[in-house]
Amino acid sequence: MTPSASSSTGPVIEAHSIVKKFGGAIAVDDVSIEVYPGEIHAVVGENGAGKSTLMRVLAGVHQQDSGSVIVDGVKLEGGAKESIDLGVSLVHQELSLVPEMTVAENILLGSAPTTLGFTNFSEMKNIARSALEEIGVSVDLDERISRLSVALRQFVEIARAVARKPKVLILDEPTATLTPAETDYLLEMLQRLAGRGMAIVYISHRIPEVFRICHNVTILRDGKRVSVTAVAESTPEGVVDQMVGRELKKDLGSHRDATPSDVVLKAEGIRAPSVDDVDLEVRAGEIVGLGGLVGAGRTEIVRAIIGADARKSGRVTITVDGKTRIISSYQSAIRAGVGYIPEERRVDGLALTMTVAENINLPNRKELSTAGFQQTKKIRTFAQRLAEQVGLRPPEIKREAGQYSGGNQQKIVIAKWLGRRPAVMVLDEPTRGVDVGAKAEIHRLIKELADQGTAVLIVSSDLPELLELSDTIHVVRDGKIQGSIGHQDATEKAVMSLASGEKLVGA
């Protein structure tokens, strides 16, 4: 059926009519899938379509309510441990490494070789080394995970799965945190592994990746399987249409015409750890993008500018209505009208077990209270208006933020700051791990903000997003702005050639 999936042997993993419910909600509804040795099989769908749940059922992490999973002819019944023993390895969406342990320890976590009950460290290193060699990544085995870049951590995570010698390797959004060059590397690695007969199940939001490396694609929507086809016989547009359930409008991602006016945010000579003498200006109504590879220092630059991290030197000012204020601390930045959407929304952006209203109240509490006492009604009206404005679905402000999907959570983070009519909005990876629909809405919100005169500074590893939104793109490498590109000259190629220039992996 596909070039490298040999039809002479049967599927290495097959699932029949899987149903998985959480409480009353059906996450996976009667889905079947089979994957052959050497095949790269994509599973695509919007957030909440049931991809991750299906993968966890395949890996034995979740127990299905009905249906069966068969690995190499053996029916899977015994949970995650048995699943691993049978040769199914899952690379989780959230990084599950222990930051304070070494690379080798993490790769063998839970399966460390022992001699008379003591950990056999030399054997452990041998296994870890060969797993890393298998995926073609070189990194110091004794380095602590906390000292590695996000990309390298992702590769260590994959090495950990590969060290178990799996027949089936499942990857859940492995490229979400990677830059294009790192993504290329990962995709080539997967092709090599498949070439050696490994079956790979690949979940991604990024359709071009699917068309680059996958043989077949299963499309899920609302927990149901919409279709399964050979990639060679379909088109990216067709796949997206089936994911979304209707045709995606083409003009969705057009660049807006900007009319920037006065300089609002001005940063001069910023130095901080991983930030090397950065000058930067953002005008009212302008969107300035920071491009570059992961670890280039973009997050560090914006955090140093707004005072979220300490600066070694440099001067930052914000000018609104002719009044210039010096930004000396994060709190002074907030007072001067900065809104900040951090990179790690679940850790830095939201209090997940608090309600939507409480989260929105946090940066607006002073305006929503009288003499320190909260105005409950005012808070409710305010939060409700913002929840609707950002398109939170459903817009129920008494729900806990953690009950919403990634895209909706990001809308809550944006809503927190929107109500302040920020003079400067700083967004770090605003649509990472967010589905296409929510992404379009978040882009609309960012453009509207700029149209209303906010100075927007955005960090994104998503090149099409960066190109669509930015009026000016500064490309960062080694904590320095290497070059700046105006919107009319901006192409993916132009950004990447400034951003790269170094070998990708290999510390």
Partner 1 sequence: MAKESLTEQIALTEVVAQEAPKKTSGVGLWLTQNGVFLFLVVLAVFAAFFVNGFGSLDNVTNILNRAVPLGIVAVGMTFVVISGNYLDLSVVAQVATSGVIFLAVGSEYGLGVAALAATGAAILYGLVNGLAVGLFKANAVIVTLATTYIGLGLLRYFSGGSIFFGPPDGPMDVFGSGKVGPVPYSAFVFLGLTLVLSLVLTRTNFGFLVKSFGVNERATRLGGVNTDMVIVGAFLVTALAAMIAGFVFAAFSNTAVSTMAQGFDFKALGAIIIGGTSVFGGRGSVLRTLLGVIFVSVLDNVLTLLGFTFGFQQLALGVLILLAVTLDVLSRKLGQQ
Binding site for partner 1 (CB under 8 A): 22-25, 46-48, 222, 244-246, 248-249, 251-252, 254, 256, 308, 330-331, 334-335, 340, 342, 347-354, 358, 361-363, 365-366, 369, 372-374, 376, 391, 393-394, 396, 399-400, 403-405, 407-408, 416, 435-438, 440-441, 444, 447
Per-residue tokens: 456: 């927007």
DSSP SS3 for 121: helix
d(CA 249, CA 222): 21
Whichever of 114 and 331 has its CB closer to partner 1, that residue is 331
Q: How far is the CB of 366 from partner 1 (least distance, A)?
A: 7
DSSP code for 258: P
d(CA 389, CA 190): 41
Q: How far is the CB of 50 from partner 1 (least distance, A)?
A: 9
Q: How far is the CB of 497 from partner 1 (least distance, A)?
A: 30
Query: How many other C-beta atoms are found inside a 10 Å radius of the C-beta of residue 438?
Result: 23
Per-residue tokens: 441: 């809405």
488 by Cβ neighbours in 10 Å (0-12 / 13-18 / 19+) ranks as exposed
Phi, psi values for residue 502, rounded to 5°: -135, 160
DSSP code for 174: T
d(CA 447, CA 427): 12
Q: How far is CA 150 from CA 102, 182, 295, 342, 434, in A?
A: 15, 11, 8, 16, 18
Whichever of 102 and 470 has its CB closer to partner 1, that residue is 470
Per-residue tokens: 138: 């070189």
Whichever of 180 and 363 has its CB closer to partner 1, that residue is 363
Whichever of 308 and 495 has its CB closer to partner 1, that residue is 308
Nearest alpha-carbon partner for 158 in 126, 190, 184: 190
Whichever of 353 and 497 has its CB closer to partner 1, that residue is 353
Q: How far is the CB of 404 from partner 1 (least distance, A)?
A: 5
Query: How many other C-beta atoms are found inside a 10 Å radius of the C-beta of residue 245?
Result: 10
Is 499 in contact with 292 (CB distance < 8 Å)?
Answer: yes
DSSP SS3 for 492: helix
Query: How many other C-beta atoms are found inside a 10 Å radius of the C-beta of residue 44?
Result: 25
Whichever of 37 and 48 has its CB closer to partner 1, that residue is 48
Q: How far is the CB of 115 from partner 1 (least distance, A)?
A: 37
Q: How far is CA 69 from CA 13, 73, 175, in A?
A: 7, 9, 27
Q: How far is the CB of 382 from partner 1 (least distance, A)?
A: 14
Whichever of 87 and 223 has its CB closer to partner 1, that residue is 223
Q: How far is the CB of 455 from partner 1 (least distance, A)?
A: 18
One-letter amino acid at 108 equals: L
d(CA 493, CA 196): 32
Whichever of 250 and 323 has its CB closer to partner 1, that residue is 250
One-letter amino acid at 352 equals: L
Whichever of 256 and 271 has its CB closer to partner 1, that residue is 256
Whichever of 311 and 477 has its CB closer to partner 1, that residue is 311
Q: How far is the CB of 259 from partner 1 (least distance, A)?
A: 14
One-letter amino acid at 265 equals: L
Q: How far is the CB of 156 from partner 1 (least distance, A)?
A: 24
Q: How far is the CB of 500 from partner 1 (least distance, A)?
A: 31
Is 242 in contact with 69 (CB distance < 8 Å)?
Answer: no
